Amino acid sequence: MVEIEWVLFCNPEVIITSSWPDVHEWAMNSTALEVTDARQNGRVYTCDDNLVQRPGPRLVEGLEWFAYFIHPEIFEEPEGS
């Protein structure tokens, strides 16, 4: 677990959340996060939990999504969105 103060100190350019509705909604609506570059620039994304939290070959697809979220200028949007 990461303290909100640390997140604010780091000022992330990108935030990638779990697909659990409460987590994504919090990241999108928390007043504490509205000062981050990620929120101000609309770079809060959700990744399918099945791609990143379950061991197996789908992890590669999850990593492709992470790469796209972080550097869309370099990576194409993965198939199967």
In order, the DSSP letters of 24-41 are: HHHHHH-TGGGGSHHHHT
Q: Please give the torsion angle defined by the CA atoms of residues 57, 2, 10 and 12, in that order, rounded to the nearest 10 degrees.
A: 40
> Band of the pLDDT at 75, cuts 50, 70, 90?
very high
- Asked if 50 and 18 count as a contact pair (C-beta separation under 8 A), the reply is no
Write down the domain spans for the chain.
13-70
| pLDDT of 60 | 92
Task: Look up the pTM and report it.
Answer: 0.86
Amino acid type, 39: R
| pLDDT of 1 | 77
Condensed to tens digits (0 to 9), the pLDDT of residues 24-68 reads: 899 999 999 999 999 999 999 999 888 988 888 889 999 999 999
- Which residue is listed with tokens 């789908």? 58
Contacts of 36 (CB under 8 A, 6+ apart): 7, 8, 11, 12, 15
Q: Which residue has the higher pLDDT, 13 or 53?
A: 13
The average pLDDT across 7-34 equals: 92
